[in-house]
C-alpha cells in the first residue's frame, strides 16, 4: 500500500512542531530569568565593604571609593563618598539657614556622565565607622529606563554598549557635581577611581539559552512553513504536494521573524520594553504585509496556478514563470537583494546598539518601489503562467476484450485441401 503525500509529511510536521515548542520553552526560561534580574531588589550598602577601590592612595586621602565587585545596572553600584574631604570647601562656609545643605553628584563611566545620581548631605556625618568615619556609603540605582526611545534609554544604551558588543566591560567610575538642570561636564578632580570595575552587560548563559531557543523556534517555524502552505502560493494537496514558494509571503515571514528576534534580544539584554519598535520597522512590516496580501489576491484569481509544482526555493522566488519555462527576472532579484541588505542593517543595529533601526526614509521608499514593481509585473506573470510542471499521467489504454468462446465454436469447419486429378498432370 502506497502512502499518500499527506501521510509522508506528517513526521516532518511533528518534528517542526517539536522544534517550535522546545524553542519557545527555552525563550520563556531566558525571559523569566531576565525579568527576575531586572526586578531583583539590590542588597543595601550601609556599611563599608571589605574590598574597595579608592580614588587615592588610602581611605583618608580619597574622595570616593567603590566596592570591588562586578555589577549590573539593575543591581546598582555600592559607592562611598568621603564627606569631609569632598565638601571641605563648602563646610568652611557658614550655613545661613537651619536646613541641611545637600548636593547631588552624578556618576560617570569613563568620563561620560550617566543618568545615575547620588544625593549627599554636605554637613552630614555619613554611616561609616572607625577608619571610615565621615564616609557615606550608598548603593546607587542604575537601572536603565524601560522606555527605549526616551532620552534616558538612549543614553544608557550608549553607555553599556561601549566600543563593541561583549558580555562585560571595564569602566572607570567617577563623580561630579551636578548642576540643577544640566549634566556635569567632567568628573571632579580627584574623584575618579584609580582602577576599573567590571560592568556586566548581560549574562552570556542567559543570552545563549535565549539565542538557542530563538534559533530552534525559528527553525521549527520554517520547517512547518516548508511543509504547509504558509510560504507557498497555495496549500499542498495530494495531487500537488509542493506548490511553488511565494516571494510576497517569504518576505513577510522574513521581517516578522527578524522583528520578533530583535525585540526579544533587546528585552533579554536591557530589559527595555516600551518604545523599542521604531517607525521604520513598522513601515517595513506594513510594506511586506501589503505585498504578501496583494500577491495572494493576484494568485487567487488564477485557479490554474493551483496545479503548478515548485522548482526549488530560490528558483521559485526569483523566477517569473514556473515549470519548464521558469526565468529569473530583474524585478524579483531587486526585491530580494534589498530585503537581504536591509535585513543585514537590522541585525547590525540590534547587535551594536541594542536598538531596532529607524531606517532612512529613502531606504524605505526604495523598498516600497521594489515591492510595487514586483506586484506590477506579477499581473502579466499570472496570465502567462500555465501548469507545465505537474501533468496528469495518461490513463493506460484499455486491453482488448477477449473473443467469446461460443464464437469460436460457431465458425464453419475449414474445407479440406483439394488434390488435382492424375490425368490433369
Q: What is the CA radius of gyration of the chain?
A: 38
With beta carbons less than 8 A apart as the criterion, state whether 140 and 79 touch.
Answer: yes
Distance of CA 126 to the CA centre of its chain: 47
**pLDDT at residue 162, rounded to an integer:** 62
| E-assigned strand segments in 49-111 | 52-54, 64-67, 71-72, 77-82, 102-109
| CB-CB neighbours of 379 under 10 Å | 11
With beta carbons less than 8 A apart as the criterion, state whether 232 and 305 touch.
Answer: no
110: helix, strand or coil? coil
Q: Which residues of the chain have pLDDT under 50?
A: 1-9, 11, 386-393, 407-411, 422-425
**pLDDT at residue 344, rounded to an integer:** 92
Give me the helices (H) in 231-360, please: 247-270, 279-300, 313-318, 330-353
| CB-CB neighbours of 130 under 10 Å | 7
Could you state, in order of their start, the residue ranges of all structural domains in the chain?
A: 44-195, 228-384
Distances 212 to 20, 28, 206 between C-alpha atoms, Å: 11, 12, 10
Taking alpha carbons only, the member of 155, 154, 159, 152 closest to residue 173 is: 159
With beta carbons less than 8 A apart as the criterion, state whether 143 and 216 touch.
Answer: no
- Cα separation, 127 vs 79, whole angstroms: 12
What's the first-to-final CA gap in the chain, in angstroms?
73
pTM: 0.65
Pairing mode, if any, of strands 52-54 and 64-67?
antiparallel
With beta carbons less than 8 A apart as the criterion, state whether 51 and 70 touch.
Answer: no
Distance of CA 303 to the CA centre of its chain: 37
Residues 6+ apart with CB under 8 A from 219: 16, 19, 23
- Cα separation, 121 vs 100, whole angstroms: 7
- Cα separation, 388 vs 334, whole angstroms: 26
**pLDDT at residue 412, rounded to an integer:** 53
With beta carbons less than 8 A apart as the criterion, state whether 52 and 66 touch.
Answer: yes
What crossing angle do the helices spanning 330-353 and 247-270 adopt, rounded to 10°? Answer: 0
**pLDDT at residue 366, rounded to an integer:** 87
- Cα separation, 192 vs 190, whole angstroms: 6
List the Cα angle 208/212/216 in 5-degree steps.
170
User: Which grid coordinates are listed for 327?
Assistant: 526565468
- Cα separation, 51 vs 47, whole angstroms: 12
Amino acid at each position: 500500500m502506497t502512502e499518500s503525500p499527506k501521510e509522508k509529511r506528517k513526521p516532518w510536521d511533528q518534528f517542526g512542531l517539536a522544534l517550535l515548542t522546545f524553542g519557545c520553552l527555552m525563550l520563556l526560561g531566558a525571559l523569566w530569568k531576565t525579568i527576575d534580574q531586572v526586578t531583583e531588589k539590590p542588597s543595601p550598602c550601609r556599611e563599608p565593604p571589605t574590598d574597595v577601590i579608592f580614588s587615592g592612595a588610602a581611605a583618608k586621602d580619597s574622595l570616593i571609593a567603590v566596592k570591588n565587585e562586578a555589577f549590573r545596572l539593575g543591581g546598582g553600584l555600592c559607592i562611598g563618598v568621603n564627606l569631609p574631604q569632598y565638601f571641605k570647601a563648602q563646610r568652611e562656609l557658614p550655613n545661613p539657614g537651619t536646613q541641611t545643605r545637600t548636593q547631588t553628584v552624578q556618576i560617570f563611566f569613563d568620563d561620560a556622565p550617566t543618568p545615575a545620581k547620588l544625593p549627599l548631605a554636605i554637613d552630614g556625618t555619613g554611616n561609616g565607622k572607625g577608619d571610615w568615619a565621615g564616609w557615606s556609603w550608598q548603593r546607587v540605582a542604575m537601572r536603565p529606563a524601560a522606555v527605549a526611545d526616551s532620552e534616558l534609554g538612549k543614553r544608557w544604551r550608549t553607555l553599556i554598549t561601549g566600543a563593541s558588543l561583549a558580555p562585560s566591560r571595564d569602566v572607570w567610575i567617577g563623580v561630579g557635581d551636578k548642576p540643577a538642570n544640566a549634566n556635569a561636564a567632567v568628573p571632579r578632580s580627584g574623584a575618579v577611581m584609580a582602577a576599573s570595575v567590571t560592568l556586566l552587560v548581560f549574562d552570556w548563559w542567559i543570552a545563549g539559552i535565549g539565542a538557542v531557543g530563538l534559533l530552534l523556534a525559528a527553525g521549527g517555524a520554517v520547517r512547518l512553513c516548508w511543509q504547509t502552505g504558509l510560504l507557498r502560493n497555495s496549500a499542498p494537496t495530494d495531487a500537488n504536494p509542493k506548490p511553488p514558494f511565494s516571494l510576497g509571503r517569504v518576505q513577510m515571514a522574513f521581517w516578522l521573524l527578524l522583528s520578533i528576534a530583535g525585540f526579544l534580544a533587546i528585552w533579554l539584554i536591557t530589559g527595555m520594553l516600551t518604545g523599542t519598535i521604531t517607525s521604520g520597522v513598522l513601515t517595513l512590516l506594513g510594506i511586506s504585509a501589503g505585498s504578501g496580501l496583494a500577491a495572494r489576491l493576484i494568485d487567487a484569481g488564477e485557479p490554474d496556478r493551483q496545479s503548478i509544482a515548485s522548482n526549488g526555493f530560490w528558483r521559485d522566488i526569483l523566477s517569473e514563470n514556473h515549470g519548464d519555462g521558469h526565468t529569473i527576472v530583474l524585478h524579483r532579484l531587486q526585491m530580494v537583494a534589498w530585503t537581504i541588505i536591509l535585513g543585514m542593517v537590522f541585525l547590525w543595529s540590534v547587535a551594536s546598539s541594542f536598538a531596532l533601526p529607524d531606517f532612512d526614509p529613502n531606504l524605505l521608499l526604495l523598498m516600497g518601489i521594489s515591492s510595487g514593481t514586483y506586484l506590477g509585473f506579477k499581473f502579466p506573470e499570472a496570465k502567462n503562467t500555465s501548469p507545465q510542471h505537474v501533468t496528469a499521467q495518461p490513463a493506460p489504454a484499455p486491453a482488448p476484450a477477449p473473443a467469446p468462446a461460443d464464437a469460436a465454436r460457431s465458425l464453419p469447419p475449414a474445407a479440406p485441401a483439394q488434390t488435382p486429378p492424375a490425368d490433369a498432370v
